[in-house]
Amino acid sequence: MSYRIIYTKSYIRRAARFIKRHPELIGQYEKTLKMLELDPFHPSLSLHKLKGRLSELHSVSINIAYRISIELLLNEKTIIPINVGSHEKVYEL
């Protein structure tokens, strides 16, 4: 049950800034992306649907403090990362 991750230019810029600010999280970040590709419903990712103005998006956990917001297209088995950062930062789009 493998999913395909599509990286947009805007997400790549956000991810580069995130990694530059938090180089100690590279391993956890990469592990999260690999797990997301293999099984976005794995319990360690804590996948959940967002509410309010971001209700079209989902969020997964990198660790207790950092998240990745995603667009999850189940029919197409596609994941589009939208933002990465702290709990507050991810939800400010």
**What are the pLDDT digits (tens) for 23-69?**
999 999 999 999 999 999 999 999 999 999 999 999 999 999 999 99
Task: Report the candidate in 15, 32, 26, 37 with the shortest Cα–Cα distance to residue 89.
Answer: 15
* Stretch 66-88: mean pLDDT: 93
| CA–CA gap between residue 42 and residue 44 (Å, rounded) | 6
pTM: 0.91
Res 75: pLDDT: 85
Structural Rg of the chain based on CA atoms:
12
Per-residue pLDDT at 74 exceeds 90:
no
Q: Which residues contact 74 (CB under 8 A, 6 or more apart)?
A: none
| CA–CA gap between residue 61 and residue 70 (Å, rounded) | 11
CATH numbers and ranges of domains, the chain: 4-90 (3.30.2310.20)
Res 93: pLDDT: 61
| CA–CA gap between residue 69 and residue 49 (Å, rounded) | 9
